[in-house]
Amino acid sequence: MANKTIDHAITAASLTSAASDPTHAGVLSFMRRRFTKSLKGVDTVVWGIPFDAATSNRPGARFGPQAIRRASAIFDNDPQYPFHRDIFANMATIDYGDCLLDYGNHQKTPATIEREAAKILKSASYLMTMGGDHFVTWPLLKAHAAKHGPLALVQFDAHQDTWDDDGRRIDHGSFVGRAVRDGVIDPARSIQIGIRTHAPQDFGIRILYGYDVEAMSAAEIAAAILDHVGGAAAYLTFDIDCLDPAHAPGTGTPVAGGPSSAKLLSVLAGLSALDVRGSDVVEVAPAYDHADMTAIAGATVAMYMLGLRSGRLPRAR
């Protein structure tokens, strides 16, 4: 025990160092990364947006970042599966904490998120965000597109999120259509995986419906994504309700007939060739969870997102 420390989130000597906290103790940041608002020397930022005022059914995703952080503690020290290594050894990563939002003035929320995300992206190369409901992806997309240009959207979801929108709504079900109309994403290169509902328009985005995902292998789904997106810069968003409620009950708008966490994690693992410029995992609502199973799924998705990012960087010597 002489060389071990606790509370790595505040005692870490390096942004790439591994933690030695017991899984059941210590300050909880995402995977024990250092909690800091300093972006000096940082490659990758983990950030929480505790917002759920845009939900159309059950609220509670404002508690998602806390739940994901708690569930992520189990990953903090061992080489991360399926990457066979410490994904932070070559990737200076911090937990930037949460976005400060005025809960009594939701019309200010989009600009606040976009402004803070742009500040992070000005210094860091990659931002992985924990929601919050799916509306938070709209200002995140705007901030990323301002840096990288129109993006291919790779969306894991039970819903298309293309409902009618007047451009001012605070609504988690319409941001994709808005992003197409405003030129933030390229619909010809975008793809939605796991859709199990219908919306009035698809905007030319390719859809792999729930029954497609059921019939295809994980390798076939990953190949379809890579083939459709090609070499385009992409943004990866994962609504936890893409998973069947048997695997993720803790969410606001659950839809039966979805894939397992094992299958979609295998899909994510097959996307190493994807040029992902930013990502998020959203709609974890722990009040409806059981035994932290949704939070664990969300934390694992987030860890895979960071593992994919780490795999595109030079290995530490």
Q: How far is CA 106 from the centre of its chain?
A: 22
H or E stretch at 261: helix 261-269
Q: Per the annotation, does 157 bind a ligand?
A: yes
Q: Per the annotation, does 227 bind a ligand?
A: no
Please give the Cα distance from 207 to 33 (Å, whole number).
Answer: 35
CA distances in angstroms from 72 to 24, 217, 299, 315, listed in the order given: 11, 27, 5, 23
Q: Which residues of 216-246 are buried (b: 16+ CB within 10 A; e: fewer)?
A: bebeebbebbbebbeebbbbbbbbbbbbbbe
Q: Per the annotation, does 21 bind a ligand?
A: no
Looking up tokens 């190949």 gives 223
Please give the Cα distance from 70 to 76 (Å, whole number).
Answer: 11
Residue 188 has which token pair? 């010809």
Q: Per the annotation, does 202 bind a ligand?
A: no
Q: With contact defined as beta carbons under 8 Å apart, do 131 and 281 qualify?
A: yes
Q: Per the annotation, does 275 bind a ligand?
A: no
Q: Per the annotation, does 102 bind a ligand?
A: no
Residues in contact with 91: Cβ distance below 8 Å, sequence separation at least 6, in sequence order: 16, 43, 44, 306, 309, 310, 313
Which residue type occupies 116? E
Which residues define the annotated binding site? Answer: 134, 157, 159, 161, 239, 241
Which residues define the annotated binding site for Mn(2+)? Answer: 134, 157, 159, 161, 239, 241
